[in-house]
């Protein structure tokens, strides 16, 4: 469980960055390709400074970087922190999914054993 | 809950919470039963491969307690959860507290109690179970998720993409 200690500070920053719906929307937009602050601000009812503030949080978390073009400074998404969070969540998810697959089989078995009785009951005249 | 969720979905609805959603091809009365009768619970709530559930005690009524404990078949390490039922409304709703029981694994697991709300919604014979775990704080939530007990870790990078897509389309 090295991930707990080594990456926990980074995960904190990532989670903080992801806790806001505007920032998640910005990331979703950047997942489609790089964009300038003006382009990012367009779909939101928000000023460019407000968007820039959100971008700073995303940049601090390493989720977004700024391009070299000094005029446009296009932002792009950085995959690594996202991958860490998703690996972390995936591990948690797989524990639940293992349980749920056993529950699938159990429910199937219970329904098979219950159905003859149910059929007999419904056939009975009222 | 019109969507069928074929594989367990984990989302983070707030800083303190984790939500797990999954659909089952069974009526909700039966799913509720599988969640509340100990002889059924201990057949599926086993955690990762190689773990068994030697303790499964549940007194399913408001104020009633429960105790779950798991043991690794391989090296005998153990961990558990215990708590009390706060709401019991068959076949649609269960609320219970959940405290981590001191054990040989999961040292970083939060010591405070979580509140677990389980909702059962049925649509056309398919029951979707939504489990909302409120850890009480962000630190406790993150620590709990980090204490993944599995060794069969899948390196899937698709989950967050899905989370992001789902959240952004929902808030747009």
Return the CATH number at A42.
1.10.10.10
CB contact under 8 A, A89 and B47: no
How do residues A66-79 score in pLDDT, each as one tens digit?
887 778 889 988 87
Question: Which of B15, B148, B168 is the closest to A92 by Cβ?
Answer: B148
Q: Does A108 touch chain B (CB under 8 A)?
A: yes
Q: How confident is the model at residue B79 (pLDDT cuts 50, 70, 90)?
A: confident
**Domain containing residue A63:** 2-123
| Chain B interface, best mutation among A84, A103, A109, A111, by max B CB count within 10 A | A103
Question: Residues B102, A96, B134, B117: is their CA dihedral positive or negative?
Answer: negative
The H or E element that residue B167 is part of is helix B158-171
CB contact under 8 A, B148 and A91: yes
CB contact at 8 A, B140 and B112: yes
Chain A residues whose CB is inside 8 A of the B30 CB are: 107, 110-111, 114
Chain B residues whose CB is inside 8 A of the A78 CB are: none
Strands B78-89 and B126-134: unpaired
CB contact under 8 A, A89 and B10: yes
Cα distances (Å, whole numbers) of residue A75 to A26, B37, B64: 10, 53, 54
Inform me whether the pLDDT recorded for A99 exceeds 90: yes
CB contact under 8 A, B148 and A88: yes
CA distance B54 to chain A (A): 16
- Which 3 state secondary structure label does DSSP give B33? helix
CB contact under 8 A, B155 and A90: yes
How do residues B111-133 score in pLDDT, each as one tens digit?
678 999 999 999 999 999 999 99
Please give the domain boundaries of chain B with CATH numbers for all domains: 9-171 (3.30.530.20)
Inform me whether the pLDDT recorded for A48 exceeds 80: yes
Q: Searching chain A, which residue's CA lies closest to the CA of residue B50?
A: A98
Q: What is the rounded CA–CA span in Å between residue A123 and residue A104?
A: 28
Number of domains in chain A: 1
Q: Searching chain A, which residue's CA lies closest to the CA of residue B128?
A: A100
Looking at residue B7, the DSSP 8-state letter turns out to be S
Q: What is the pLDDT of residue B131?
A: 94
Burial bucket for residue B170 (CB in 10 Å: 0-12, 13-18, 19+): exposed
Q: Searching chain B, which residue's CA lies closest to the CA of residue A88?
A: B146
Q: How confident is the model at residue B164 (pLDDT cuts 50, 70, 90)?
A: very low
Beta strand residue intervals within chain B, DSSP E: 9-11, 17-24, 51-58, 65-72, 78-89, 93-101, 114-123, 126-134
Bridge partners for B166 per DSSP: none
CB contact under 8 A, B157 and A83: yes
Average pLDDT on B69-87 reads 89
Chain A residues whose CB is inside 8 A of the B163 CB are: 86, 89
Burial bucket for residue A94 (CB in 10 Å: 0-12, 13-18, 19+): buried
Q: Three-state SS string across chain A, please? A: CHHHHHCHHHHHHHHHHHCCHHHHHHHHHHCCCCECHHHHHCCCCCCHHHHHHHHHHHHHCCCEEECCCCCCCCEEECHHHHHHHHHHHHHHHHHHHHHHHHHHHHHHHHHHHHHHHHHHHHHCCC
Nearest to B153, CA basis, from A14, A18, A12, A84: A84
CB contact at 8 A, B99 and B140: no
- The proportion of chain B whose per-residue pLDDT surpasses 90, expressed as a percent, equals 47
Q: What is the pLDDT of residue B170?
A: 45
């Amino acid at each position: 469980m090295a991930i707990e200690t080594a990456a926990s500070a980074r995960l904190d920053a990532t989670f903080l960055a992801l806790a806001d719906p505007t920032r998640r929307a910005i990331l979703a937009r950047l997942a489609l390709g790089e964009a300038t602050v003006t382009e990012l601000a367009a779909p939101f009812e928000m000023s460019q400074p407000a968007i820039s503030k959100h971008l700073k949080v995303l940049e601090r978390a390493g989720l977004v970087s700024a391009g070299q073009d000094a005029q446009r400074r296009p932002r792009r998404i950085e995959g690594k922190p996202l991958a860490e969070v998703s690996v972390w969540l995936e591990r948690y998810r797989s524990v639940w999914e293992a349980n749920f697959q056993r529950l699938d089989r159990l429910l199937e078995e219970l329904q098979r054993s219950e159905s003859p009785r149910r059929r007999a009951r419904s056939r009975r005249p009222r | 809950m019109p969507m069928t969720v074929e594989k367990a979905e984990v989302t983070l609805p707030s800083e303190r919470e984790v939500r797990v959603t999954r659909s089952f091809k069974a009526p909700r009365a039966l799913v509720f039963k599988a969640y509340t009768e100990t002889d059924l619970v201990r057949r599926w709530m086993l955690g990762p491969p190689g773990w068994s559930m030697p303790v499964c005690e549940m007194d399913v009524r408001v104020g009633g307690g429960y105790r779950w404990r798991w043991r690794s078949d391989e090296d005998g390490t153990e961990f558990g959860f215990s708590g009390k039922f706060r709401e019991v409304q068959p076949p649609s709703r269960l609320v219970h507290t959940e405290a981590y029981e001191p054990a040989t694994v999961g040292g970083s697991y939060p010591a405070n109690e979580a509140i677990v709300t389980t909702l059962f919604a049925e649509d056309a014979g398919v029951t979707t179970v939504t489990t909302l775990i409120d850890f009480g704080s962000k630190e406790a939530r993150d620590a709990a998720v980090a204490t993944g007990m599995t060794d069969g870790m899948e390196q899937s990078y698709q989950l967050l993409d899905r989370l992001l897509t789902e959240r952004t389309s929902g808030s747009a």
